[in-house]
Structure 1
Amino acid sequence: MAEPTDLLNQFRKCVQEIEEMIGRLQDLARLVRSGEIPKEAAEPLKDEYMRGLLSHAERFFTLEDGLEAERARIRLELERNRRDAERFGGVASNERIRTLEARIGQIEDAFKSVNLQVELMTVKYYLMFLSSAMKRGEMTKEEFDKQRDVYRHFLDSVAERWAYQKNELSKGISALEPQVENITADLKELWVRYTVGEIPQSEYNSARTRLEEKLKNIEGSIEKYRRYIDAVDARVFECYLLYTQPNPEVSFDFESITPPEELPKITELEGKVKVGDELLTPQELYDRTLYYYSLIWGMGSASTKSNLEKDIRKLMEKGMTREQALVYLNESVRGKG
């Protein structure tokens, strides 16, 4: 397996190549829509770009799995070093802790740098191309089903990251809504003061203009957030629909969704989960369980996260929450590797 630094560099390069390939597909689609290139003439070029994207996407999936397994391994090593530092102290232990924290930060920054829309467009292109290849007889049903499982694994990962970001966006909307109510109340109060003669018309007009402008800006931000959430939700739904009903001829939107100017930073879910005598964040619990699975299925193996997600879904179908399922699996597989 490649060294962590090599994995990071390969991951960043792969993301750049995917973005460039999607850019080419978007440019080609615009040329076809504008009539500059006939649709029939564009098909061979589109097929070439799709094949290139497919190759990059498969590499992306592998590299992402490798980085997630590496992050989980580093988290466990970090915990051990923190416990040793508490028991024995020492400059070397503290230096090692800082090094491990920096490596986790590099991996998380690499994940956060990936454009959510690029990921969604990649998974959609990916399954469309697979469906088209099977229809043309270039792929057997068994090969298609195997690749479709890879698609589902990656799509679940994208949907999970979107859930975190959507949660932060919703918090942003919730924080803005009281401001709308306060400004609306201020406008009503201002009107009353003017009608009873407490303030002159010039002062009323000036104050009203300022408040209405502020209200307009805040309501505009809320509307942008909501439109963005609805648009990305629709994209995620389309990707899952394409998984259940593969169709190479599905209508496809090549245009990007414009996010609000200041998207809230993606953060870990709040709250802690009790695992034995420890309290872990949901992300720490997931990383730890993923690491234990990697000892069984292979570090960086595509089947590692896929098997973990399948086991989580089975337990959730029996009534467990996702956190309860992870705690159960964490305790079940610990030490089996």
Structure 2
Amino acid sequence: METWLNRSSTDDFVLLGIFSHSSADLVLFSVVMAVFIAALCGNVLLIILIYIDPRLHTPMYFFLSQLSMMDLMLVCTNVPKMAVNFLSGRQSISFVGCGVQIGLFITLVGSEGLLLGLMAYDRYVAISLPLRYPILMNQRVCLQIVGGSWAFGTIDGLMQMVVVMTFPYCGLREVNHFFCEMTSVLKLACADTSLFENLVFACCVLMLFLPFSIIVASYARILGTVLSMCSTQARKKALTTCFSHLGVVSLFYGAAMFTYLRPKHYRVPSHDKVVSIFYTVLTPTLNPLIYSLRNRDVMGALSKVLSRCRIGSQH
């Protein structure tokens, strides 16, 4: 049997994209590319700061560096290909390239969703059980959390990618999206995909609500701990450490639930494309901004690096 890795160029897909070459769309494309560059710079900078500053060598910042790594890979999975197709006028993507996009996208979204859920547990331990924090969140546990998040997403991504790319595809193979989004590709299949789509929907529900339930349970316990604090200053400090994480969680899960948990008859391709831009480009840009602007440690590390650069340039 011919494997999907050996498909010929005649099996290429056509990405219809999201932008035309009108003046308005050229402006929008420029905005998206500017946001993309901001996402690259913001996440790379955050990873470097966490790596070089000893004060940021804590479980929370270790998780944050992994989150930035996932965001960095996510924006690089779809946006560069979209930009190349738009600028070159070519809309094709190879069969293998389409499969890789599907696998990477599902892997990264699944891994990030689970990591965000487990980061809420880290905040719960830090606020509700501060004396036991070094024991409960030791290096081994942190590595298990990160490794489990990556493994969960990777297994899910590989399984869905293999199944999607083994379906037969016919017709013009025009994907009504700017990247190989799985549900858009499945619409082109020549076989009945309803069973697989139902399984994927159930998987999406599990992948979203399992970590979301961890988040809700953790913050319910955190709220109970905060309300029992006598000091107003202690309450404020405890809540401040959670606001950044809650902001990122709201962006990620809001977009994910809107994208994947809507009934089919409410889905419009144009809406899905716009939400996908928000989901794959804007959210990874906002994540490092949310954490850095509300975090004195990160801003302190940035100031320290900038001071070193100024001193070095003077010498």
TM-score interval for Structure 1 and Structure 2 normalised by the shorter chain: 0.3 to 0.5
Q: TM-score, normalization: structure 1?
A: 0.32
The structure whose RCO (Cα within 8 Å, separation 6+) is larger is 2
